[in-house]
Protein backbone atom coordinates (compact mmCIF):
# COMPACT_ATOMS: atom_id res chain seq x y z
CA UNK A 1 0.00 0.00 0.00
CA UNK A 2 1.23 3.47 -0.76
CA UNK A 3 1.92 5.94 2.01
CA UNK A 4 1.07 9.07 0.08
CA UNK A 5 -2.14 10.62 1.41
CA UNK A 6 -3.48 11.51 -2.02
CA UNK A 7 -2.81 8.04 -3.45
CA UNK A 8 -3.97 6.07 -0.44
CA UNK A 9 -7.32 7.84 -0.43
CA UNK A 10 -7.88 8.16 -4.16
CA UNK A 11 -10.81 6.70 -6.07
CA UNK A 12 -8.33 4.67 -8.11
CA UNK A 13 -7.01 3.02 -4.96
CA UNK A 14 -10.55 2.38 -3.76
CA UNK A 15 -11.54 0.76 -7.07
CA UNK A 16 -8.55 -1.56 -7.08
CA UNK A 17 -8.68 -2.64 -3.46
CA UNK A 18 -12.43 -2.75 -2.83
CA UNK A 19 -14.86 -3.39 -5.75
CA UNK A 20 -12.15 -5.02 -7.90
CA UNK A 21 -10.48 -6.55 -4.84
CA UNK A 22 -12.07 -8.12 -1.80
CA UNK A 23 -15.66 -7.52 -2.97
CA UNK A 24 -15.19 -9.12 -6.34
CA UNK A 25 -17.72 -11.89 -6.97
CA UNK A 26 -19.65 -11.21 -3.79
CA UNK A 27 -23.42 -10.74 -3.66
CA UNK A 28 -24.68 -8.40 -0.95
CA UNK A 29 -21.27 -8.85 0.70
CA UNK A 30 -21.18 -12.66 0.82
CA UNK A 31 -20.51 -15.51 -1.58
CA UNK A 32 -23.52 -16.11 -3.86
CA UNK A 33 -24.19 -19.60 -2.48
CA UNK A 34 -24.08 -18.67 1.22
CA UNK A 35 -27.37 -18.71 3.16
CA UNK A 36 -28.55 -17.95 6.68
CA UNK A 37 -28.33 -21.17 8.75
CA UNK A 38 -31.59 -23.09 9.16
CA UNK A 39 -31.24 -22.83 12.94
CA UNK A 40 -31.46 -19.03 12.76
CA UNK A 41 -34.44 -19.12 10.37
CA UNK A 42 -36.38 -21.82 12.23
CA UNK A 43 -35.91 -20.88 15.90
CA UNK A 44 -38.17 -17.86 16.58
CA UNK A 45 -36.00 -16.43 19.36
CA UNK A 46 -32.79 -16.77 17.35
CA UNK A 47 -34.43 -15.15 14.36
CA UNK A 48 -35.66 -12.32 16.55
CA UNK A 49 -32.19 -11.87 18.02
CA UNK A 50 -30.66 -11.74 14.54
CA UNK A 51 -33.24 -9.18 13.40
CA UNK A 52 -32.72 -6.99 16.47
CA UNK A 53 -28.94 -7.06 16.09
CA UNK A 54 -29.04 -6.40 12.33
CA UNK A 55 -31.40 -3.47 12.89
CA UNK A 56 -28.73 -1.79 15.05
CA UNK A 57 -26.25 -2.27 12.21
CA UNK A 58 -28.66 -0.71 9.69
CA UNK A 59 -29.29 2.23 12.05
CA UNK A 60 -25.55 2.78 12.59
CA UNK A 61 -24.81 2.56 8.87
CA UNK A 62 -27.62 4.95 7.97
CA UNK A 63 -26.01 7.44 10.32
CA UNK A 64 -22.60 6.82 8.70
CA UNK A 65 -24.14 7.35 5.25
CA UNK A 66 -25.74 10.64 6.32
CA UNK A 67 -22.50 11.79 7.97
CA UNK A 68 -20.04 10.85 5.22
CA UNK A 69 -22.21 12.32 2.46
CA UNK A 70 -22.95 15.43 4.54
CA UNK A 71 -19.26 16.04 5.16
CA UNK A 72 -18.33 16.13 1.45
CA UNK A 73 -19.44 19.73 1.04
CA UNK A 74 -17.89 20.73 4.36
CA UNK A 75 -14.46 19.30 3.46
CA UNK A 76 -11.78 21.97 2.98
CA UNK A 77 -9.79 20.13 0.26
CA UNK A 78 -10.43 18.15 -2.91
CA UNK A 79 -8.68 14.93 -1.82
CA UNK A 80 -10.90 14.68 1.27
CA UNK A 81 -14.02 15.29 -0.83
CA UNK A 82 -13.10 12.46 -3.15
CA UNK A 83 -12.27 10.12 -0.31
CA UNK A 84 -15.59 10.93 1.35
CA UNK A 85 -17.35 10.19 -1.94
CA UNK A 86 -15.88 6.66 -1.87
CA UNK A 87 -16.81 6.38 1.78
CA UNK A 88 -20.36 7.48 0.99
CA UNK A 89 -20.68 4.57 -1.45
CA UNK A 90 -19.17 2.18 1.11
CA UNK A 91 -21.69 3.29 3.73
CA UNK A 92 -24.59 3.05 1.27
CA UNK A 93 -23.43 -0.47 0.51
CA UNK A 94 -23.33 -1.29 4.25
CA UNK A 95 -26.89 -0.02 4.63
CA UNK A 96 -27.93 -2.17 1.68
CA UNK A 97 -26.25 -5.41 2.72
CA UNK A 98 -27.54 -5.27 6.30
CA UNK A 99 -31.01 -4.34 5.02
CA UNK A 100 -30.77 -7.34 2.70
CA UNK A 101 -29.94 -9.49 5.72
CA UNK A 102 -33.18 -8.32 7.35
CA UNK A 103 -35.04 -9.49 4.23
CA UNK A 104 -33.12 -12.79 4.29
CA UNK A 105 -34.29 -13.21 7.89
CA UNK A 106 -37.88 -12.83 6.75
CA UNK A 107 -38.63 -9.13 7.29
CA UNK A 108 -41.12 -8.06 4.60
CA UNK A 109 -40.21 -5.07 2.46
CA UNK A 110 -43.27 -3.11 3.56
CA UNK A 111 -42.47 -3.77 7.25
CA UNK A 112 -38.87 -2.56 7.04
CA UNK A 113 -39.27 0.99 8.36
CA UNK A 114 -41.63 -0.13 11.15
CA UNK A 115 -39.18 -2.83 12.25
CA UNK A 116 -36.31 -0.34 12.24
CA UNK A 117 -38.28 2.31 14.12
CA UNK A 118 -39.44 -0.21 16.74
CA UNK A 119 -36.17 -2.02 17.32
CA UNK A 120 -33.47 0.65 17.01
CA UNK A 121 -31.96 1.14 20.43
CA UNK A 122 -32.87 4.68 21.64
CA UNK A 123 -29.36 5.18 23.05
CA UNK A 124 -27.87 4.37 19.66
CA UNK A 125 -30.25 6.91 18.10
CA UNK A 126 -28.99 9.56 20.58
CA UNK A 127 -25.39 8.64 19.76
CA UNK A 128 -26.14 9.23 16.06
CA UNK A 129 -27.93 12.50 16.74
CA UNK A 130 -24.89 14.06 18.44
CA UNK A 131 -22.79 13.34 15.36
CA UNK A 132 -25.38 14.43 12.82
CA UNK A 133 -25.77 17.78 14.61
CA UNK A 134 -22.10 18.52 13.87
CA UNK A 135 -22.53 17.43 10.27
CA UNK A 136 -25.62 19.65 9.87
CA UNK A 137 -23.54 22.61 11.06
CA UNK A 138 -20.91 21.74 8.42
CA UNK A 139 -18.37 21.36 11.22
CA UNK A 140 -15.80 19.29 9.32
CA UNK A 141 -13.27 18.76 12.11
CA UNK A 142 -15.82 17.64 14.73
CA UNK A 143 -17.74 15.68 12.09
CA UNK A 144 -14.70 13.66 11.02
CA UNK A 145 -13.70 12.95 14.62
CA UNK A 146 -17.29 11.89 15.42
CA UNK A 147 -17.67 9.81 12.27
CA UNK A 148 -14.23 8.42 11.38
CA UNK A 149 -12.85 7.97 14.89
CA UNK A 150 -15.81 7.52 17.27
CA UNK A 151 -18.62 5.94 15.21
CA UNK A 152 -16.28 3.87 13.06
CA UNK A 153 -13.97 2.97 15.94
CA UNK A 154 -17.06 1.53 17.60
CA UNK A 155 -18.36 -0.14 14.43
CA UNK A 156 -14.96 -1.64 13.64
CA UNK A 157 -14.65 -3.27 17.07
CA UNK A 158 -18.28 -4.46 17.21
CA UNK A 159 -17.98 -5.97 13.72
CA UNK A 160 -14.75 -7.74 14.64
CA UNK A 161 -16.37 -9.23 17.71
CA UNK A 162 -19.43 -10.31 15.69
CA UNK A 163 -17.23 -11.73 12.94
CA UNK A 164 -15.30 -13.83 15.48
CA UNK A 165 -18.47 -15.17 17.07
CA UNK A 166 -20.11 -16.00 13.71
CA UNK A 167 -17.14 -17.48 11.86
CA UNK A 168 -18.10 -21.08 12.67
CA UNK A 169 -21.85 -20.61 13.12
CA UNK A 170 -22.89 -18.37 10.24
CA UNK A 171 -20.31 -18.07 7.47
CA UNK A 172 -22.66 -15.89 5.39
CA UNK A 173 -22.95 -13.22 8.07
CA UNK A 174 -19.23 -13.53 8.94
CA UNK A 175 -18.27 -12.98 5.29
CA UNK A 176 -20.57 -9.94 5.02
CA UNK A 177 -18.90 -8.54 8.13
CA UNK A 178 -15.34 -9.18 6.93
CA UNK A 179 -15.81 -6.96 3.84
CA UNK A 180 -17.36 -4.29 6.02
CA UNK A 181 -14.43 -4.47 8.44
CA UNK A 182 -12.01 -3.95 5.54
CA UNK A 183 -13.97 -0.83 4.51
CA UNK A 184 -14.08 0.51 8.08
CA UNK A 185 -10.32 0.04 8.42
CA UNK A 186 -9.86 2.43 5.47
CA UNK A 187 -12.32 4.94 6.94
CA UNK A 188 -10.69 4.96 10.36
CA UNK A 189 -7.29 5.42 8.70
CA UNK A 190 -8.52 8.49 6.84
CA UNK A 191 -9.88 10.03 10.06
CA UNK A 192 -6.54 9.74 11.76
CA UNK A 193 -4.48 10.91 8.83
CA UNK A 194 -6.55 13.92 7.89
CA UNK A 195 -7.64 15.21 11.23
CA UNK A 196 -4.29 15.49 13.05
CA UNK A 197 -3.20 18.38 10.83
CA UNK A 198 -6.59 20.12 11.15
CA UNK A 199 -6.53 19.91 14.96
CA UNK A 200 -3.09 21.55 14.94
CA UNK A 201 -4.52 24.26 12.71
CA UNK A 202 -7.65 24.83 14.84
CA UNK A 203 -6.66 24.01 18.45
CA UNK A 204 -9.58 26.11 19.74
CA UNK A 205 -11.93 23.34 18.56
CA UNK A 206 -10.53 20.83 21.03
CA UNK A 207 -12.83 21.36 24.06
CA UNK A 208 -15.99 21.00 21.98
CA UNK A 209 -14.68 17.87 20.27
CA UNK A 210 -13.65 16.38 23.60
CA UNK A 211 -17.16 17.01 24.92
CA UNK A 212 -18.66 15.35 21.86
CA UNK A 213 -16.43 12.29 22.35
CA UNK A 214 -17.44 11.99 25.99
CA UNK A 215 -21.17 12.28 25.16
CA UNK A 216 -21.06 9.87 22.23
CA UNK A 217 -19.07 7.39 24.35
CA UNK A 218 -21.73 7.55 27.06
CA UNK A 219 -24.56 6.68 24.66
CA UNK A 220 -22.44 3.92 23.13
CA UNK A 221 -21.89 2.35 26.57
CA UNK A 222 -25.61 2.71 27.33
CA UNK A 223 -26.38 0.85 24.08
CA UNK A 224 -24.02 -1.97 25.12
CA UNK A 225 -25.60 -2.05 28.59
CA UNK A 226 -29.08 -2.48 27.06
CA UNK A 227 -27.80 -5.34 24.96
CA UNK A 228 -25.91 -7.27 27.62
CA UNK A 229 -27.51 -6.47 30.96
CA UNK A 230 -31.20 -7.10 31.00
CA UNK A 231 -34.48 -7.38 29.19
CA UNK A 232 -35.42 -9.04 25.96
CA UNK A 233 -32.19 -8.35 24.07
CA UNK A 234 -30.13 -10.16 26.71
CA UNK A 235 -32.57 -13.06 26.90
CA UNK A 236 -32.48 -13.52 23.13
CA UNK A 237 -28.72 -13.33 23.11
CA UNK A 238 -28.41 -15.95 25.87
CA UNK A 239 -30.80 -18.25 24.04
CA UNK A 240 -28.89 -17.89 20.77
CA UNK A 241 -25.65 -18.70 22.58
CA UNK A 242 -27.14 -21.85 24.14
CA UNK A 243 -28.49 -23.00 20.79
CA UNK A 244 -25.13 -22.38 19.16
CA UNK A 245 -23.64 -24.94 21.51
CA UNK A 246 -20.60 -23.09 22.89
CA UNK A 247 -17.86 -23.78 20.32
CA UNK A 248 -14.77 -21.63 20.56
CA UNK A 249 -14.99 -18.06 19.27
CA UNK A 250 -11.74 -16.33 20.09
CA UNK A 251 -11.45 -12.57 20.17
CA UNK A 252 -9.04 -10.34 22.07
CA UNK A 253 -7.58 -13.43 23.79
CA UNK A 254 -10.95 -14.50 25.23
CA UNK A 255 -13.43 -17.22 24.25
CA UNK A 256 -16.70 -15.36 23.56
CA UNK A 257 -18.71 -18.59 23.52
CA UNK A 258 -18.17 -19.29 27.21
CA UNK A 259 -18.08 -15.74 28.64
CA UNK A 260 -20.85 -14.32 30.80
CA UNK A 261 -22.73 -11.41 29.16
CA UNK A 262 -21.34 -8.98 31.78
CA UNK A 263 -17.81 -10.06 30.92
CA UNK A 264 -18.52 -9.63 27.21
CA UNK A 265 -19.90 -6.16 27.81
CA UNK A 266 -16.80 -5.24 29.82
CA UNK A 267 -14.43 -6.60 27.20
CA UNK A 268 -16.25 -4.85 24.34
CA UNK A 269 -16.47 -1.51 26.19
CA UNK A 270 -12.82 -1.60 27.27
CA UNK A 271 -11.66 -2.54 23.77
CA UNK A 272 -13.59 0.28 22.07
CA UNK A 273 -12.62 2.90 24.64
CA UNK A 274 -8.99 1.76 24.41
CA UNK A 275 -9.15 2.22 20.62
CA UNK A 276 -10.66 5.70 21.00
CA UNK A 277 -7.94 6.73 23.41
CA UNK A 278 -5.15 5.47 21.16
CA UNK A 279 -6.55 7.14 18.03
CA UNK A 280 -7.47 10.42 19.73
CA UNK A 281 -3.98 10.59 21.25
CA UNK A 282 -2.51 10.34 17.75
CA UNK A 283 -4.57 13.29 16.47
CA UNK A 284 -3.91 15.39 19.58
CA UNK A 285 -7.32 15.17 21.28
CA UNK A 286 -7.44 14.38 24.95
CA UNK A 287 -9.63 11.35 25.64
CA UNK A 288 -12.45 12.08 28.11
CA UNK A 289 -13.63 9.23 30.31
CA UNK A 290 -17.42 8.91 29.94
CA UNK A 291 -19.77 8.19 32.84
CA UNK A 292 -20.51 4.47 33.02
CA UNK A 293 -24.25 3.86 32.63
Q: Determine the Cα–Cα distance for residues 124 and 95; give it in Å rounded to an integer.
A: 16
- The residues, any chain, with a CB within 8 Å of residue 285's CB and separated by 6 or more, are 145, 199, 206, 209, 210, 213
Q: Determine the Cα–Cα distance for residues 278 and 192; give it in Å rounded to an integer.
A: 10
Name the segment binding Fe ion (CB under 5 A); options: 27-35, 88-96, 215-223, 264-272: 88-96
CB of 159 to Fe ion, least distance (A): 9
**Please, which of residues 135-164 interact with Fe ion by CB under 5 A?**
152
User: Which one of 64, 142, 256, 269 is in contact with Fe ion (CB under 5 A)?
Assistant: 64
Phi and psi at residue 135, in whole multiples of 5°? -65, -45
Between residues 152 and 160, which has the closer beta carbon with respect to Fe ion?
152
Kind and range of the H or E run holding 254: strand 254-255
Kind and range of the H or E run holding 19: none
Q: Determine the Cα–Cα distance for residues 229 and 234; give it in Å rounded to an integer.
A: 6
Between residues 37 and 60, which has the closer beta carbon with respect to Fe ion?
60
Q: Determine the Cα–Cα distance for residues 21 and 182; give it in Å rounded to an integer.
A: 11
CB of 31 to Fe ion, least distance (A): 20
CB of 90 to Fe ion, least distance (A): 6
Note whether 187 binds Fe ion by CB under 5 A: yes
CB of 161 to Fe ion, least distance (A): 15
Query: Which has the closest alpha carbon to 280: 201, 186, 214?
Result: 214
Find the DSSP H helices in 21-151: 38-42, 44-72, 78-104, 112-119, 122-136, 140-144
Note whether 94 binds Fe ion by CB under 5 A: yes
Between residues 64 and 149, which has the closer beta carbon with respect to Fe ion?
64
CB of 68 to Fe ion, least distance (A): 7
CB of 96 to Fe ion, least distance (A): 11
Q: What is the dihedral of CA 208, 213, 218, 223, to 10 degrees?
A: 130
Between residues 46 and 166, which has the closer beta carbon with respect to Fe ion?
166
Between residues 23 and 45, which has the closer beta carbon with respect to Fe ion?
23
Between residues 64 and 280, which has the closer beta carbon with respect to Fe ion?
64
Name the segment binding Fe ion (CB under 5 A); options: 46-54, 85-93, 125-133, 212-220: 85-93
Q: Residues in the site for Fe ion, rule: CB under 5 A?
A: 61, 64, 91, 94, 152, 184, 187
Amino acid sequence: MTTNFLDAYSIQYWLESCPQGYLEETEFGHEPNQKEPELVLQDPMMREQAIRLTTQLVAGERCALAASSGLINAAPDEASKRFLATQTLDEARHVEIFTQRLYDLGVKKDELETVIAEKTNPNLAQFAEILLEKVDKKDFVAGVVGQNIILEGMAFTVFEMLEASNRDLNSKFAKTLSGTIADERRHVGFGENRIGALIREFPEKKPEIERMQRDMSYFMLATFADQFRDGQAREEMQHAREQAGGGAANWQGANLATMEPEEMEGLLADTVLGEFKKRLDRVGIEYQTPTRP
